[in-house]
Structure 1
């Protein structure tokens, strides 16, 4: 590719990865600042969560249509427009004086950021030769995998030491730098698909996509808090999402110029790889949420200590991701993927044996094992999934791939929080059955509390009951860790239907 040789692939890589990392960070950086935002803007607890939901909804809608937008506007123009909109919205978020204004600006920020991940991935895949695509995906993974881990840590540090507005303001200078670099070093390739004069816009597909994915994202984000289908508005949104998304698939497969080209799934590697990516991120994202909750809610860790547990794993992934990328040039990437999935499963199996007495080193050890697995999961999977996609279809394929990755994370988070609550109720029910005057261990514990701590019978029973609740919650965490491990072990078997690429020696037409 002439432009890539002229400017250097590393300048192109830096140009697209700065905004991508900022966008991924912003999906989670505001999580830890919600309390501060709530107090600053005098918002209710339920209302302030829309700061997160609004961004995720806008993101989810734009990601799959980014390939179409790049075809309409030209990829360089679309990338620059996205960076500009994201940067401007970030500044407006920091200036917001009301919750309503902040939510509106977060929607605009999500619209601007939605195209950054798929466009960056497509540009990297085209900039690096086919043999080095594993390395390209290792670079992309540094943002895609580390972003959700670093976001809460960075957000917590900035909020505690400065102000929540700076979690948005830090995007502005970096966004301006990124805009200049994109203008200087990114070029539209000659083979890129472009809109034909007189081509009709798929307005129905656009409407079905927006309503379907918007409703689905709200359901996933709000479902557990609203008790899922016990809530009327969750039921209505779920029905709307199902109808719109089913209609979208039917319509897009028949439209000559669809918003999202679902025919890309005719490539077996792409179809199978997206299944593995969806369920892999389902289990990975769920565990990202799970471990900090376990440490803070049950073991009394501060946010800083919980961050210390996650910190070393980020460093391990930074070291191993490029290694995994280089190994795809020498080793069958399917073996690397199987290794990554298996190690990820064993790490969650290790965590399912945690107790309430573990030390911080044990927690760090479990997370570090998982980091090794994830480094060898994301890179070879991305390489295998995109191996047979013609380069002129890369924008659309990358959009679909990133959509399913993000949806896998959203479904995984919703699954984990729901199963955690349900299993805690089950264990609590069984444990409470033993809190009777006819149960010797209960009466002995109650008598000891009365004798040695001077509590009356009601107070003693209350202390015991609080321990029962904690034990029930602990058992629920163990259950979910184990379930997530089974997902990874199942994927380690399923992934063998993916075909081995020939390291670029015989690629489909249009990829040379």
Structure 2
């Protein structure tokens, strides 16, 4: 297959990067619309959060299967089909009038989206010569970073100026155009889809993976809201997760043609890299979860303001990605990048844990900039280390496992953060309330000041005292939550610091430019 040039390559770059950004936006754009959606559909906020859970479950199931499915159906066919599925599901989400309906269509959207992201990167890499693939890596890296960051910003703007169905409907014109361009400009790989008869489908492995990973993702996503093991559903999904994953591992190691090749974990480099990748998942997903709730719940930012605060420093990552790709393609050791990246992320978490309640929006720029540079420095180096020592034929399997571990690290991180915040909130509230007594001079002065303000505004003398106490209670709540969010940032810092010594177990293998290009392409096909 000839490498496209000029206008054709430009169209492929625009199409694949746009499709990836579109999918990634949908992982976070819904977060800021939950309140509006719950009111419109007549359900509570816990129930509507299923639109996030169902999408995440579909994503984490499809990611490790993408390489197999692309090989079986043909990459171009699979890509276009995934785009159509994603676009149709987006329309149906926007048209949904019940909770069950939108949950089902969000799951379908997640199936199409997970495949869309993976295959976009592989197609983009094939549009460049091996020596130019670091450029492709940088271009796609921009999309990977911009998508999740644009989600809250775009979602906040839509909620402020329109209604929640638009967050899904905006995908439709983009999806239609991307489908047309893909059909017209993306060429089939040589022999694509012709070996279907020789590919044996591992139905048992796929079923066990779906049950095990799906149940685990459900447990992690919904555990806190359902009070963990006091819920029968969480108990059942925990059992299914354990049984499904144990059976999946046993079966995939036994079968001749597994859907997911677990044997590559015999490689020490890959085994230890998955630990780093898990922690990266914890840090990335948890920080994106904790910062917005800190900003909106305790600092009074709107969803749109929160998104803008995240967006500016994220542009640093857009600039850094191509630079890291170039340096890696020259054979520079990935180990220093990993260590520095982890230290920078730890510094971001530690600085974020030290902010005061009267912090200015601009004060977040430097810590978030450290986070952006840290992300840039660990992404591609960890992909490199995941396949160091593997045979080229095993690259896709190794990176697919690595990406699945990152996704699970994110789910674990959010579940941990939810639980930790709830625990720390209760402790901080107890500590704060214990210092407030009816005889406390500070409490008396503060409540009297608030009461006088209420009387001046409303003239309600009889109810001013009660309202003043309620106001103080709200302030205590806000401060308890604020302190619990800061504690969570400190917890993230500990995770990143503790794993750094494990770099000593990584083996560095200097790769030629051709090997690096093959690594990047495998990363694309397995992402």
- Give your verdict on TM over 0.5: yes
Aligned to 1:415: 416
* Structure 1 residue 47 corresponds to structure 2 residue 47: yes
115-124 vs 302-311, greater mean Cα deviation: 115-124
How far apart, CA to CA, are the structure 2 residues paired with 1:70 and 1:113?
A: 14
* Counterpart in the other structure of 1:114: 114
Q: Does residue 512 of structure 2 align to residue 504 of structure 1?
A: yes
State whether residues 131 and 503 of structure 1, in contact with CA within 8 Å, keep that contact through their aligned partners in structure 2.
Answer: no
Secondary structure at 2:501's aligned position in 1? Answer: helix
Unaligned residue ranges in structure 1 (runs of 5+): none
Query: In structure 2, how many angstroms separate the alpha carbons of the residues matched to 1:133 and 1:478?
Result: 40
What is the CA-CA distance between 1:251 and the residue it aligns to?
Answer: 0.5
Partner of 2:26: 26
In the alignment, is residue 401 of structure 1 matched against residue 402 of structure 2? yes
Residues 1:480 and 2:488 aligned together: yes
Aligned-partner Cα distance in 2 for 1:170–1:453:
46
Seen in structure 2, the aligned counterparts of structure 1 residues 86 and 508 have a Cα distance that, compared at 3 Å, is closer
Aligned equivalents of 1:193, 1:487: Cα separation in 2: 44
Residue matched to 2:444: 447
- Please report how far the alpha carbon of residue 98 of structure 1 lies from its aligned counterpart in structure 2 after TM superposition: 3.2
Shift of 1:496: 4.4
Residue in 2 aligned with 1:427? 428
String of CA shifts for 1:465-495, please: whole Å, max 9, x gaps. 4443333222222211111112222343323
**Corresponding residue of 1:214:** 214
Inter-partner Cα distance in structure 1 for 2:265 and 2:124: 21
Q: Mean Cα displacement is larger for which, 363-372 or 385-394?
A: 385-394
Deviation per CA, 1:357-381: give whole Å up to 9, x if none: 2222212322222112212222332
Corresponding position of 2:141: 141
Instruction: Go from structure 1 to structure 2 and tell me whether the alpha carbon gap of 1:452 and 1:267 turns closer, same or farther (over 3 Å shift).
Output: closer
1:86-165 superposed matches below 5 A: 86-124=86-124, 134-165=134-165
**CA distance change for structure 1 residues 365 and 509 in 2, over 3 Å: closer, same or farther?**
closer
Unaligned runs of 5+ in 2: 453-463, 522-527
Q: Equivalents in 2 of 1:113, 1:300: separation in Å?
A: 33
Report the Cα distance in structure 2 between the residues aligned to 1:6 and 1:281, rounded to whole angstroms. Answer: 37
Worse-matched range after superposition: 383-392 or 423-432: 383-392
What is the rounded CA distance, in whole Å, between the counterparts of 1:381 and 1:137 in structure 2? 14
Moved more, 372-381 or 493-502: 493-502
Check whether the contact 1:76–1:188 (CA below 8 A) recurs between aligned residues. Answer: yes
Aligned partner of 2:79 in structure 1 is 79
Seen in structure 2, the aligned counterparts of structure 1 residues 21 and 496 have a Cα distance that, compared at 3 Å, is: farther
Change (3 A) 1:286 1:320: same
- Write the deviation string for residues 377-407 of structure 1: whole angstroms up to 9, x where unpaired: 2233234334565555454444333322222
Q: Does structure 1 retain, via aligned residues, the 8 Å contact 2:333–2:510?
A: no
Residue in structure 2 matched with residue 493 of structure 1 by the alignment: 501
CA contact (8 A) 1:7 1:185 kept: no
Superposed CA deviations along residues 53-93 of structure 1, whole A, max 9, x for unmatched, are: 22222222212111221221122221121112111222222
CA distance in 1, matches of 2:192, 2:518: 11
How far apart are the structure 2 equivalents of 1:388 and 1:74?
29
When structure 1 is superposed on structure 2, of 255-264 and 486-495 the one drifting more is 486-495
Matched residue SS, 1:197: helix
Deviations 1:98-154 (A, max 9, x none): 333322222221121221223234445565566655544333322333322211211
Aligned partners of 2:471, 2:159: CA distance in 1, in Å? 35
Distance 1:155 1:309 in 2: 14
C-alpha distance 8-379 of structure 1, shift in aligned 2 (>3 A) = farther
**8 Å contact kept, 1:122–1:398:** no
Alignment partner, residue 469 of structure 1: 477
Q: What secondary structure is seen at the aligned counterpart in 2 of 1:257? A: coil
Q: Distance in 1 between matches of 2:182 and 2:58?
A: 23
Instruction: Provide the TM-score with structure 1 as the length reference.
Output: 0.89
Counting only pairs closer than 5 Å after superposition, residues 325-344 of structure 1 correspond to structure 2 as 325-330=325-330, 331-344=332-345
Task: Report the CA distance shift for 1:449/1:89 in structure 2 as closer, same or farther (over 3 A).
Answer: closer
Q: Kindly tell me: are residues 349 and 450 of structure 1, through their superposed partners in 2, closer, same or farther at Cα, counting changes over 3 Å?
A: closer
- Once the two structures are TM-superposed, the CA of residue 312 in structure 1 deviates from its matched residue by 0.8
Q: In the alignment, which residue of structure 2 is the partner of 1:240?
A: 240
* 2:389 pairs with 1:373: no
Q: CA deviation at 1:267?
A: 4.0
Which residue matches 1:297?
297
CA deviation string 1:404-461 (max 9, x = no partner) = 2222222111111211111111222333333346xxxx61112313554557876665
Judged with a 3 Å threshold, the aligned counterparts in structure 2 of structure 1 residues 305 and 159 are, in CA distance, closer, same or farther, namely closer
Q: Which aligned pairs between 1:49-64 and structure 2 lie closer than 5 A? A: 49-64=49-64
Q: Which residue of 1 aligns with 2:386?
A: 385
Please tell me whether the aligned partners of residues 268 and 498 of structure 1 are also in contact (alpha carbons under 8 angstroms): yes
Once residues 198 and 20 of structure 2 are traced to their aligned partners in structure 1, the CA distance between those partners, rounded to angstroms, is: 33
1:363 — aligned with what? 364
User: SS state of the match for residue 254, structure 2?
Assistant: coil
| Distance in 2 separating the partners of 1:278 and 1:175 | 32
Bigger Cα displacement from structure 2, 141-150 vs 280-289 = 141-150
Partners of 2:82 and 2:113 within 8 A in 1: yes
CA RMSD of aligned residues (A): 3.0
Q: Secondary structure at the match of 1:253?
A: helix
What is the alpha-carbon distance in structure 2 between the residues aligned to residue 264 and residue 129 of structure 1? Answer: 28
> Is contact 1:122–1:394 with CA below 8 Å preserved after alignment?
no
Under a length normalisation based on structure 2, what TM-score does the superposition of the two structures give?
0.87
SS in 2 for 1:106: helix
Aligned length: 508
State yes or no: 1:168 paired with 2:168: yes
